[in-house]
Chains A and B, each alone.
Chain A
Amino acid sequence: MSILQTLLFSLFLLLNPVFWCVGADYETVIYKGQKLSILRDSLTQAPLIIRGIESNLLEIKNFSKLSRKEITHTGPLLVNKYKSLLQIEPDQLKLKGAEKISDTWYVSYWQTFRDVIIYESSLGFSIDSRGDIKSLGALLYPHVQAPVTSKVGHEEALKIGQSEIKDFKKLKCILLAESVLIYPVKKKSSIDYYRVYAFNFFPQEALHPASVVGGWAVFIDTQTGKKVLYEELLKPLGCCIPEDWAPPKPEEMKPKW
């Protein structure tokens, strides 16, 4: 491409903002005197990403002296500080994971509704060795309206879930994780919130750490008993097989939610 062509192309891009894909959806806001860059979910308007501009979102004093447990309390502090932006309460967070890699801590949470986890919701961030949080990533649901009790019994739902798996008995399928969840289904201009029994089934042979055999996620509506999600699952695979390996218990499994 000649210099002239490059210049003309650059001019064309400048005059056509529709081509500005990267970063085009970010907005700059002043929140309590702090300049922030925010990317919002187009449907819920909840922030997907918040970054501090020329400042950190949070600076934790004496960070190096904090225990792991104390570090996991950072999420509620952050939500409290940016509550009107995030539109959730600190007590709606449930810890998903906290891990130190090199000098950085990575902490993440689910959002809950009446103590029930919202499927695929998240709020997370990294904390550097100085205790600074520069940005956060989140998938939050500000105004959840979902049933708070179940009309369908657990055993009935489990049978319905099992019946969705072809060759369930032949494959010797096992229920490896289950929970009641809030399952948000995005529509064009609104979200349906289902309260579901979430089941993760795997064939017995998938239990071995070296097996790459996958499983299934089946979600059953607690109000109607109808299936609202059926999905094939890839197997999450760790690094090694411990010498004392034994089939995992359901509470030890890493479920898909």
Chain B
Amino acid sequence: MVSACKEKAEKPSLPKIGAAAIDFNCQDLEGQAWSLNKVRGKVVLLRFWADWCPYCRYEMPIIDKYYRQLKKEGFLVLAVNVKQSTEVALAFTAQLDVTFPVPLDPDGGLARRYGVYAIPTNFLIDRQGVVREILIGEVFREEKPLRDLLKNYFPLS
């Protein structure tokens, strides 16, 4: 269960809307390796969070609801835990009963590379690997904002 994120690019650069998302290598809580390049073709919600952030907590079930509904259509959530242990992240995700992959970023290196200074921060990355939205702070406490966002990529009524 030892996991870590390793950044591919050497030079730090902040993502811009319309630019290619920075690739990375990460392992999730179950030991599965993730890389943005390997999930090209999916719509990715890359999310940075920590268990002590109350705003992060209450968005998770809503995000998981849409992940369960749309994963077969190509929706992927990568909820990166920032600077916490595997055990903290495991306990937290079990408490909320969420099913999406939770990569670990124990030293916060990936968060820094993505210019994350506040949590939660979400990046919506399209099927071509391009950053389409950057959402800082709590935005998905209600379903509507997430639903409206995903409507652009999936047939949601």
| A93-125 interface with B by 8 A CB criterion | 97, 99, 101-102, 104, 106, 108, 120, 122-125
Complex contacts, A99 vs chain B, CB 8 Å:
57-58
Which residue of A134, A137, A214, A254 is within 8 Å of B91 (Cβ)? A137
Determine whether B55 belongs to the interface, using a CB cutoff of 8 Å to chain A: yes
* A137 B93 Cβ-Cβ under 8 A: yes
Taking a contact as CB atoms under 8 Å apart, the answer to whether A238 and B91 are in contact is no
The reply to whether A237 and B58 form a contact with Cβ atoms under 8 Å apart is no
Which one of B58, B95, B136, B139 lies within 8 Å of A137 (CB-CB)?
B95
Looking at A84-92, A153-161, A228-236, the stretch in contact with chain B turns out to be: A228-236
For residue A41, CB closer than 8 A to chain B, the reply is: yes
Complex-state Cα separation, A158 to B117, whole angstroms: 25
- Residues of B within 8 Å of A49, CB to CB, are 90-91, 94
- Considering the complex, give the chain A residue whose CB is closest to the CB of B120: A237
Known: A22-B32, A125-B95. A120 touches B58 (CB 8 A): no
Interface string of B83-114 (1 = CB under 8 A from A): 11101101111111100000000001001000
**Dominant SS at the A interface?**
strand
Q: Is the CB of B116 within 8 A of A106?
A: no
Question: Which among B90, B92, B117, B139 is the interface contact of A213 at CB below 8 angstroms?
Answer: B117
Q: Report B-chain residues with C-beta under 8 Å of the C-beta of A236.
A: 50, 52-56, 118-119
Across-interface contacts of A39 in B (CB, < 8 A): 90
Task: Flag if A239 contacts B88 (CB, 8 Å).
Answer: no
Separation of A140 and B73 alpha carbons in the complex (Å)? 38
Candidates B30, B90, B93, B119; contact of A234 at CB < 8 Å? B119
Nearest neighbor of B138 in chain A, beta-carbon distance: A239
Determine if B133 is an interface residue (Cβ-Cβ < 8 Å).
no
Question: Chain A interface residue count: which class?
Answer: 35 or more
CB of A135 closer than 8 Å to a CB of B = yes
Bound CA–CA A256/B83 (angstroms): 12
Write the nearest CB–CB distance from B91 to chain A, whole angstroms: 4
The answer to whether B137 touches A104 (Cβ under 8 A) is no
Which residues of A have CB within 8 Å of B117? 212-214, 234-235
* A144: Cβ under 8 A from any B Cβ: no
| A237 with B119: CB separation less than 8 A | yes
Contact B90 A137 (CB under 8 A): yes
Q: How far is the CB of B70 from chain A (nearest CB, A)?
A: 17
* B residues with CB within 8 A of A: 1, 30-32, 50-58, 61-62, 65, 82-85, 87-88, 90-97, 108, 111, 116-120, 136-139, 141
Show 23 A/B contacts (Cβ-Cβ < 8 Å), sorted by A. Answer: A22-B30, A48-B91, A49-B90, A101-B61, A101-B62, A120-B88, A122-B51, A122-B91, A122-B95, A124-B95, A126-B96, A126-B97, A134-B97, A135-B94, A136-B95, A137-B96, A138-B94, A139-B91, A214-B118, A234-B108, A235-B119, A236-B118, A239-B141
6 nearest CB pairs, A to B: A137-B94, A124-B95, A237-B137, A21-B31, A137-B95, A236-B53
